[in-house]
Amino acid sequence: MSEHLTPVVIVGARGRMGRVLIREVTGSDNFVLVGAVDRSGGPGRGLDAGRLAGTVDIGVTVTDELIPRRAVVVDFSLPQATVGNIRRCVDAGVPLVLGTTGIDAEARAVLSEASRTIPIVSDANFSVGITLLSRLAGLAARALGPSWDTEIIEIHHKHKRDAPSGTALRLAKAVAKATDRNLADLIRTDRSGSASEPRHEGEIGIVAVRGGDSVGEHTLMFLTDGERIELSHRASDRAIFARGALRAARWVESREPGLYSMADVLGLADLG
């Protein structure tokens, strides 16, 4: 048993990530769940958090009001709730791990302002592996230079609606940034009408594959005459994102106010 348990409040408890987070917290020796929040009037309100997550009762009742209680708040809820959740964390003076995606300009401005008062880890992807892969992508692209062709292949389950994936775009951005190029001028996601055209110099291609139940697979390829380098990441369990978020929660608990990312959590902020 760890000598110190990090107290955690999970916002968005009834969501897919929220339920995984509850299971990961309750099964860990490093964390203790002290609060769980569903949306106002949501059907999760009043249930035991353990039962909501599909495990045994743990004595934590799901509420529809965020009361930080000297804990790290881990928020994977809805964009429209983000501003209010950030402000409650500021009022209580507690750290925040924010994984909610799709937040608007107002929320980003509030997030930036709040980071002057409390420590915040905000990221669109809390996978430790993807965070490292993004940094390796930048390092490789810088070392190889723009003369090497770059292609990305991503695979996701058949129910995923967006293509390319956000992670594939993240990798492409890392390559473009490392080589001082503008991704918007280089990205290529469809070659169906260009059978007679050769590959354009410097372009970054992304191929999206959809099928089955794949949680997510990404392969970044650098190709030149006579050589090919491949960097791959394969996710087989959605719990990896929850584990990354909890790693961030334990890290941010003792940090000074500031706006951090998973790269900071892993000590990779100055790499790539």
pLDDT in tens, 29-66: 999 999 999 988 778 889 999 999 998 899 999 999 89
Helix, strand, coil share of the chain (percent; to 5): 35, 25, 40
pLDDT in tens, 186-242: 999 988 875 567 888 899 999 999 999 999 999 999 999 999 999 999 999 989 999
CATH fold for domain 128-235: Dihydrodipicolinate Reductase; domain 2 (3.30.360)
* Cα 237 to Cα 239: distance, rounded to the nearest angstrom: 5
pLDDT in tens, 158-189: 998 888 998 999 999 999 999 999 999 999 99
Residue type, 272: G
In this prediction, residue 2 has a pLDDT band, given cuts at 50, 70 and 90, of low
Residue 68 has pLDDT above 90, yes or no: no
pLDDT value for 124: 85
Residue partners of 259: CB distance under 8 A and separation at least 6: 111, 112, 115, 120, 122
pLDDT value for 161: 82
pTM exceeds 0.95 for this model: no
Residue 197 is classified by DSSP as S
* Cα 140 to Cα 173: distance, rounded to the nearest angstrom: 13
Four-residue CA torsion sign, 96, 100, 105, 107: negative
Q: How far is CA 150 from CA 13, 137, 184, in A?
A: 39, 10, 15
CB 98 within 8 Å of CB 75: yes
Residue partners of 27: CB distance under 8 A and separation at least 6: none
pLDDT value for 195: 57
Domain boundaries, the chain: 6-122+238-265, 128-235
In this prediction, residue 1 has a pLDDT band, given cuts at 50, 70 and 90, of very low
In CATH, the number for domain 6-122+238-265 is 3.40.50.720
Residue 261 is classified by DSSP as -
Catalytic residues: 156, 160
